[in-house]
Structure 1
């Protein structure tokens, strides 16, 4: 059977594009190599427990944000519980800072921990920038430009406030801290750096103000928990797609994409599928490997980042005795001395909600742990047990749980990510921000300017669930703009 659109992968970007295109009446076929939808924002079941695959935090449901747009366009409902406060950060000096969702509360907390000097001015500035960025992101769905029509449409949609954002693409977050005379506050600098690492995959000297201010303010928007895990964020999308005479085929790994005169043929491990259009929702380097045509190779190679520019992750999944309810589910812990084997200086842990009996039975809870592994292709973890024990020791010392509460531990290196997700190098979190790469220099949604498109976490914008969702919205918009 020939489809209107085939989509490779079933991550949030892919499912966003599939849902919006199916709503328009196009017959869509999503090809997923795994047995669950959601990619790096999903859940998996093991020995009766539901663990998060990758992402654990959910934002993007406020006004002017991508998930809100998607749900409003499709009428999909997702069961969520609002978290307040969203997160705590355990600093190297022993203090704990609570990232409240209310701006005034957060500024008061930041002043308590980091001192009153210029904290208010800095955070009010970042929050204002983040609001402008989110409003602009849905207004300017033709950005980055890759043809004249994009430029014309963006000009028609331009608003005065959007032009004020342009200089911020040239300024780094290090320069913003210098402007507010905060670089001498080392505790604050360390805090900002580790927060940027989990949201923008990079540090102050590299992250530009547009991405950085928005990344630092994600806890100032509504944060949610999905009962049963993030699989229940993507399942409603799956059900919507199937209800629109479209299909998702699991266990289908795409091996080759062949450009035809009137479309594309995708060779999979279980036969070939043809369509008029195609969207790749897998990483750019994996996408490049699917196309053998020299022209496509030359077109995409300049945008591909190698392992030395990327981050992988060492992840752990715990089953714990629920001795007391967790008031805050998400925690980042600073490890200034660095973890063995990988040198990472922070750990992120997310607990299941105490009322969630879908992921663990009464009296138990699950927890997901991750820490960055830079240059994952080169960083071979020789002693996984030693790294596990070092991470558990930090978590126990900071009072996140007691060692005797641990029922079960399992962990995965970047090699595990390659095995389960097929992602090149086991890279996670999207492309890091680098100051020499401006937003308009990032790969846009068009792959070949014929009928092939790209979404996911290695395309603009492609950071976190809201960014990946936005990438699916943009890919859909450009496909419809070009052909309908």
Structure 2
């Protein structure tokens, strides 16, 4: 059978593009090497418990945001519970900072912890930028431009407010903090850096204002918990595809893509699939290895990032029994002295909802823990126990868990990420933001300017479920504009 579109990988960018193309009546086939859909935005089952693979919280459902657009366009329904408080941050000085979802409450909290000097104007500025960014992102679905028709479509959709965003692409978050006189506030600088690391994969001297302000404000939009885990975000998309006559084929590890006179042939470990069009939803480093076309490889080479510029993760999954249910499910803990081996300065922990018996039986919870690993292709973790011990000690010190309540523990290094996901270097979180790479210099959705496209967290706009959802929207739209 020859499909209209074959998509490589079932990350949320691929699933978004697949759903939008299936809605248009195209026969879509998604090839996934694992046994679950969703890539880094899903869950996996171990010994009867459901753990999150990567992402643990969901945003992007407010009006004018990408995930809202996908669900409204397709009619897909996802089980959701809005979080009253998105997150708490445990700072180096022992204070606990609550990231309230309401802007005024959050500003009051920031002033309480960091002092009143310019917190209000700084956060109002960042929130205004973030609103403009999200509003513009769906209006300008031809961005980044890679063909003359993109410019024409962008010109037809341009609004005065969009042009006002342009200077923010040239300013770093370090410059923004300097403007508001906040660089001398070390506690605040450390907070901003560790928050940016989990949302933009880099620090304030590298992240531009457009992405940085948006990343810092994600808790000021509605944050959701998905009962049963993020597997229940992607399963409804899978069901939608099946109902539309399309399919996801599991256990299919893509090995090679060949361009044919009338389309593409994708060869996997189990067979080959022909299609008129192709979308790669796997990282650019992996995508490049699938193609033997030298011109395409030369075109992609400038967009690739080596291990030295990427982040991996050390992750842990816990089963807790008899633990006091937390009032807030998501926490970031700062480690000023740094963790052993990795040097990481923060830990992120997410608990399952105590009432969520899909993920753990009544009276038990699961917890997903992660910390960044720089240069994951070269930093080898020989002794996981040392890092496990340091993380558990830090969490217990903050009162986030009692070690005697740990029923089971598992951990994984970037090497395990390579084994599970096949992502180059075991890198997670997408390509970090760098100041020398402006948004329009990021890889756009067109892969070869024939019939192949790309989406995911290593192309525009980058990180997070909401970001890859937007990349899938753009890939689908450009394919339709180019060929249908």
TM range (shorter): over 0.9
How far apart are the structure 2 equivalents of 1:403 and 1:264? 53
Q: Do structure 1's residue 440 and structure 2's residue 440 form an aligned pair?
A: yes
Does structure 2 conserve the Cα–Cα contact (< 8 Å) formed by 1:341 and 1:383?
no
Q: Displacement of 1:261 after TM fit?
A: 1.1
Give yes or no for contact 1:317–1:411 (8 Å, CA) kept in 2.
Answer: yes
- Give the drift of 1:356: 0.3
Provide Cα deviations, 1:293-327, integer angstroms capped at 9, x if missing partner. 11111010110000000000000000001432211
Equivalence for 2:135? 135
* Aligned counterparts of 2:12 and 2:266: Cα–Cα separation in 1: 21
1-structure distance, mates of 2:462, 2:279: 15
User: SS where residue 184 of structure 1 aligns?
Assistant: coil
Number of the residue aligned with 1:55: 55
Please state if 1:454 is matched with 2:454: yes
- Please report the TM-score for the alignment, with normalisation by the length of structure 2: 1.00
Partner residue, 2:31: 31
Q: Which residue of 2 aligns with 1:342?
A: 342
Deviation at 1:462, TM superposition (A): 2.3
1:111 maps onto 2:117 in alignment: no
Runs of 4 or more above 6 Å deviation: none
**1:261 aligned to 2:261?**
yes
Aligned partners of 1:354, 1:268: CA distance in 2, in Å? Answer: 41
Q: Which residue of 1 aligns with 2:210?
A: 210
* Partner Cα distance (1:296, 1:323) in 2: 54
- Which digits, 9 at most, give the CA deviation of each residue in 1:178-226, with x for residues without a partner? 0000000000000000000000000000000000000000000000000
How many residue pairs get aligned? The number is 484
1:3 pairs with 2:24 = no
Q: Deviations along 1:228-284, whole A, 9 cap, x unmatched?
A: 000000000000011101111000011000011110000110111000000000000
Quote the Cα distance in structure 1 between the aligned partners of 2:389 and 2:324: 23
For 1:249 and 1:210, how far apart are their aligned partners in 2? 37
CA distance in 2, matches of 1:124, 1:297: 43
Q: What SS is found at the alignment partner of 2:156? A: helix
Q: Is the aligned partner of 1:200 residue 2:203?
A: no
The 2-side partners of 1:306 and 1:8 are apart by 22
Distance (Å, rounded) in 1 between the aligned partners of 2:38 and 2:383 = 31
Equivalents in 1 of 2:199, 2:65: separation in Å? Answer: 16
Contact 2:58–2:224 under 8 Å retained in 1: yes
Residues 429, 463 of structure 1: 8 Å contact kept: yes
Summarize the alignment of residues 34-183 of structure 1 with structure 2, pairs less than 5 Å apart. 34-183=34-183
Deviation (angstroms), 1:370: 0.3
Residue 225 of structure 2: aligned partner: 225
Separation in structure 2 between the aligned mates of residue 37 and residue 145 of structure 1, nearest angstrom = 30
RMSD in angstroms over aligned alpha carbons? 0.5
Q: SS state of the match for residue 63, structure 1?
A: coil
Secondary structure of the structure 1 residue equivalent to 2:63: coil
Q: Is the 8 A contact 2:33 2:251 kept in 1?
A: yes
Contact 1:455/1:462 (8 A) holds in 2: no
Distance (Å, rounded) in 2 between the aligned partners of 1:141 and 1:149: 12
Give the deviation of 1:457 after TM superposition. Answer: 0.4
- Equivalent residue, structure 2, for 1:285: 285
**Deviation digits for residues 413-462 of structure 1, max 9, x if unmatched?**
00000000000000000110000000000000000000000000000012
Distance 2:21 2:315 in 1: 34
CA distance in 1, matches of 2:102, 2:413: 36
**In structure 2, the residue corresponding to 1:394 is in which secondary structure?**
helix
Q: Take 1:164 and 1:378, find their aligned partners in 2: how far apart are those partners?
A: 41
- Aligned equivalent of 1:473: 473
Q: Distance in 2 between matches of 1:361 and 1:127?
A: 39
- How many angstroms apart in 2 are the aligned matches of 1:49 and 1:322? 16
| Cα pair 2:258 2:291 within 8 Å, conserved | yes
Distance 2:57 2:459 in 1: 21
The residue aligned with 1:430 is 430
- Give the Cα separation in 1 of the matches to 2:239 and 2:375: 37
Q: Does 1:323 align with 2:293?
A: no
The runs of 5 or more residues in structure 2 that have no matched partner are: none
Q: Which runs of 5+ in 1 are unaligned?
A: none
TM-score between both structures, scaled by the size of structure 1: 1.00
- Say whether 1:21 aligns with 2:21: yes
Provide the secondary structure at the position in 1 that maps to 2:38. Answer: coil
User: How big is each residue's C-alpha offset from its partner over 1:109-131, in whole Å with a ceiling of 9 and x where there is no partner?
Assistant: 00000000000000000000000
Indicate the SS of the match to 2:378. Answer: coil
Any residues of structure 2 matched to 1:339-418 within 5 Å, and which? 339-418=339-418
